Amino acid sequence: MSSSHRRGWNPVFRNAQARSQKLRERFGPEYDRVVKQEGDPRKAEGVLEFLEKRRAKFKIRPLSAADRSGFAVRWNEVQSRVVDDPRAAVTVAESLVSEVMQARGYPIGEFEQRAADISVDYPVVVENYRAAHAIALRHSAGQASTEDLRQAMVHDRKLFQELLDERAAQRIGSITMATPLRKDEPQQIDNQKLTTADLAKRQRAATEPKGPRPVLGEGMPAEQNLEQAGREPKQSASGDAAATVPKQ
């Protein structure tokens, strides 16, 4: 029997393969990022399993209707400042995202820990969160252009809107950890036994836009809204168009 066949019959090898597959399905692009960061798949999988166990201790909850509405109004106010003062708008936007995370039940600490915690439930849009933070750091060093700052707003909005999405929050709140306490036990959601693939599908569904969302920027997609904010001149009291802020 070849070595590959012997590995196929080895239960330890099969368990390791199943473990890797579960984590790939759970974390998607975040799995690849952590593997690259750690330089070793086994170390990376240990990190991801630790994050799952840490996340299991959080009491994540959806926002109330009043809180969702309040946060949406505040975001619109911040977004309306992008043309006049993009630097201040980005600073306030990042703070607002942190507020929503805290209101949902995520602990607030150093940025890298916040991103790691949110990656368990939002493994796709967490990369937008990191990109927005990187631009904010460049801005603090005086190295970000006006266009960079507008793009940071687009990145922050992606996570912000996912955090406000009531249906996504309810789905995430109902999903137990992808790695159970006993690896031979399937996950249970609403007393139904589901495979890890089913969990991954539900996880992806939680981050895909379906139907109406909270009204942010008059319902216009983030990229279009911000681009139009950069194109349209502001009207003065006399009705004359004021010059827009030039892109750096």
Contact between 117 and 125 under an 8 Å Cβ cutoff? The reply is no
Please check whether residue 93 lies inside any domain of the structure: yes
Average pLDDT, the chain: 76
Number of domains the chain contains: 1
* Range 41-59 average pLDDT: 95
* Range 108-119 average pLDDT: 94
Q: Which domain holds residue 188?
A: 59-229
Better-scored residue on pLDDT, 55 or 19:
55
Contact between 98 and 162 under an 8 Å Cβ cutoff? The reply is no
Indicate the pLDDT class of residue 232, thresholds 50, 70 and 90: very low
Model-wide pTM > 0.75: no
Give the pLDDT score at 77: 95
Distance of CA 128 to the CA centre of its chain: 7
> In angstroms, how far is the first alpha carbon of the chain from the final one?
66
Please check whether residue 95 lies inside any domain of the structure: yes
- The pLDDT tens digits for 157-207 are 999 999 998 665 555 554 433 333 333 333 333 333 334 344 445 545 544
Give 40-101 as a DSSP string: SHHHHHHHHHHHHHHHHTS---PPPHHHHHHHHHHHHHHHTTTTT-HHHHHHHHHHHHHHHH
Contact between 98 and 114 under an 8 Å Cβ cutoff? The reply is yes
Please check whether residue 5 lies inside any domain of the structure: no
Please check whether residue 223 lies inside any domain of the structure: yes
Please check whether residue 141 lies inside any domain of the structure: yes
Better-scored residue on pLDDT, 116 or 174:
116
